[in-house]
């Protein structure tokens, strides 16, 4: 059993226990993309589109009938289509950079749709699908990548924190926010709140993530740590981050950790709902490791062919998060061809709208450089602003003489 391979001997266990220590190959097999995610992987829908019964988690998706599942399917298709459009726009020079989510739609839509409106989400920078699930118009995300803005949306209205680019910073920020929810007594009753925080497998090496786990545990903060293990931190594989499957780290902090099939939208929804419920009851935090795969590059500046084998990609294509829902819906009669065609048409229109918006996005005026550095500005900054704008004014009409 892979789970036994990952059990480390305790001091004093003697030679027998030492023999149970995993070989490097076994450790890597437990960590790596080429595995099935291990025996403890929670899955409700197989890559072939077969529904798997789960005594523990079925009740969390009881309400997901064919109509609801079609909704999740549509969400995933739309965000993938938007992602592909943005990727193409970057290639055409319309975006400075893009961070693709291809392959992670189920992890993001499943967890994002598990949230209540009153919950708070702290993303990293790849969470376009979660943003969409939080009701953010993806146009508002584009400004970051067209470099007209650092953050477009109203974080309070959508309960979705600005993207955080410094790896792992948001884990502490989210832990602090969840501490605030706890301090305000927003756990343990009807209108309980929870926080979810997104980060990647690479981030788990950061001190801030460790500290975030410590703080959350010490203060019983209602926070779900949602690690999307997409197997690659740019070119560094998971075994460069850990000797242990990431979800098992939670035990060291004294809270539950669970590994879910990150390409299974139903499982991601169910496990996230369970974890959020734990938080609402005051039992948080919880670590979820969504075992998934980054199908595209880290960003558009990256070249994954330099560091990973195409076999690996081909293998993961068989586990596509969208295709399995499609197969399930088609086979069970939950959706007909007209539905799939309609979703495709909707997603094309969605992408066209995004493209149109991107091409016509206004550039911010120069005085934006100086705006909102402080809540209360400073004389030096005011003087710099005035001087620079007056310098710019000097060019007006200069060419006419």
Catalytic center residues: 294, 298, 307
Cβ–Cβ under 8 Å, residues 350 and 81: yes
Q: Print the binding letters for residues 338-377 with another protein: x by CB under 8 A, - otherwise.
A: ---------------------------------xxxxxx-
Interface with another protein in residues 47-106 (CB under 8 A) = none
Q: Which residue matches tokens 């902090």?
A: 253
The CB-of-323 to another protein minimum distance in angstroms stands at 37
**Which of 39, 97, 381, 392 touches another protein (CB under 8 A)?**
381
- Mark the segment that binds another protein (CB under 8 A) among 1-9, 152-160, 251-259, 267-275: 152-160
How many Å apart are CA 293 and CA 107, to the nearest integer?
Answer: 10
Site string for another protein, 222-261 (x = CB under 8 A): ----------------------------------------
Contacting another protein (CB under 8 A), which of 132, 198, 215, 293? 215
The verdict on 204 binding another protein (CB under 8 A) reads no
- Give rounded-to-5 percent helix, strand, coil for the chain: 50, 10, 40
Q: Does 391 bind another protein (CB under 8 A)?
A: no
Among the listed residues 137, 211, 220, 323, the single contact to another protein using CB under 8 A:
211
- The count of residues interacting with another protein (CB under 8 A) is 42
Cα dihedral across residues 61, 63, 64, 65: positive or negative: positive
Give the range of 34-42, 99-107, 180-188, 278-286 binding another protein by CB under 8 A.
180-188
Contacts of 270 (CB under 8 A, 6+ apart): 42, 44, 54, 57, 58, 60, 61
Q: Does residue 384 bind another protein (CB under 8 A)?
A: no
Using CB under 8 A as the binding rule, whether residue 150 contacts another protein is answered as: yes
The rounded distance, in Å, linking the Cα atoms of 353 and 13 is 63
Helix (H, G, I), strand (E, B) or coil at 24: helix
Q: List the one residue from 174, 258, 260, 286 that touches another protein (CB under 8 A).
A: 174
For β-strands 286-291 and 257-261, DSSP reports them as parallel
According to the binding rule CB under 8 A, does residue 166 interact with another protein? yes
Residue (of 224, 200, 194, 169) closest to 291 by Cα position: 200
- In the three-class reduction of DSSP (H, G, I as helix; E, B as strand; rest coil), residue 155 is classed as helix
| Helix ranges restricted to H, 43-168 | 66-91, 105-114, 128-133, 139-146, 155-158
Among 17, 214, 330, 389, binds another protein (CB under 8 A): 214
Give the C-alpha distances (Å, rounded to integers) separating 192 from 221, 269, 277, 278, 296. Answer: 12, 19, 9, 11, 37
Contact partners, residue 370, CB within 8 Å, separation at least 6 = 381, 384, 385, 388
Q: Which residue has the tokens 């924190």?
A: 161
Question: Is 380 a residue that touches another protein (CB under 8 A)?
Answer: yes
How far is residue 105's CA from residue 102's CA, in Å, rounded to a whole number? 7
Which has the closest alpha carbon to 80: 315, 338, 351?
A: 351
Which C-beta is closer to another protein: that of 150 or that of 243? 150
**Interaction between residue 154 and another protein (CB under 8 A):** yes
Q: Is residue 218 involved in binding another protein (CB under 8 A)?
A: yes
Q: Which is nearer to another protein, 60 or 213 (CB)?
A: 213
Say whether residue 394 binds another protein (CB under 8 A): no
Binding site for another protein (CB under 8 A): 122, 149-151, 154-156, 161-162, 164, 166, 169, 171-181, 183-184, 207-208, 211-212, 214-215, 218, 371-376, 378-381
């Amino acid at each position: 059993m892979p789970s036994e391979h990952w059990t480390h001997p305790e001091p004093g266990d003697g030679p027998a226990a030492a023999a149970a220590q995993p070989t490097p190959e076994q450790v890597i097999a437990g960590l790596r993309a080429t595995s099935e995610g291990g025996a403890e992987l929670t899955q409700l829908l197989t890559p072939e589109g077969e529904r798997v019964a789960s005594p523990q988690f079925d009740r969390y998706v009881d309400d997901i009938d064919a109509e609801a599942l079609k909704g999740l399917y549509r969400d995933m298709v739309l965000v993938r289509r938007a992602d592909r459009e943005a990727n193409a726009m970057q290639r055409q020079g319309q975006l400075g950079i893009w961070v693709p989510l291809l392959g992670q739609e189920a992890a993001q839509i499943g967890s994002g749709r598990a949230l209540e409106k009153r919950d708070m989400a702290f993303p990293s920078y790849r969470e376009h699908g979660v943003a969409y699930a939080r009701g953010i118009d993806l146009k508002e995300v584009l400004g970051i990548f067209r470099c007209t803005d650092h953050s477009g949306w109203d974080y309070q209205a959508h309960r979705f924190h600005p993207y955080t680019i410094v790896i792992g910073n948001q884990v502490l920020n989210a832990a602090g926010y969840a501490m605030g929810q706890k301090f305000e007594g927003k756990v343990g009753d009807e209108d309980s709140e929870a926080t979810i925080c997104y980060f990647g497998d690479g981030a788990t090496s950061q001190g801030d993530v460790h500290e975030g786990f410590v703080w959350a545990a010490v203060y019983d903060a209602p926070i779900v740590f949602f690690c999307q293990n997409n197997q690659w931190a740019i070119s560094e594989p998971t075994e460069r981050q850990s000797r242990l499957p990431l979800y098992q780290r939670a035990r060291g902090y004294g809270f539950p950790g669970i590994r879910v099939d990150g390409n299974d939208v139903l499982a991601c929804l169910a496990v996230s709902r369970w974890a959020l419920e734990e938080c609402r009851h005051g039992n948080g935090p919880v670590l979820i490791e969504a075992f998934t795969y980054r199908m595209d590059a880290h960003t558009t500046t990256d070249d994954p062919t330099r560091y990973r084998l195409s076999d690996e990609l081909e293998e993961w294509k068989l586990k596509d998060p969208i295709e399995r829902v499609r197969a399930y819906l088609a086979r069970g009669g939950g959706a007909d061809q007209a539905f799939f065609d309609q979703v495709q048409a909707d997603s094309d229109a969605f992408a066209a709208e995004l493209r149109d918006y991107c091409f016509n996005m206004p550039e911010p005026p120069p005085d934006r450089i100086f705006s909102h550095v402080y809540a209360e500005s400073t004389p030096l900054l005011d003087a710099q602003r005035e001087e620079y704008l007056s310098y710019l004014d000097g060019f007006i009409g200069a060419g006419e003489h």
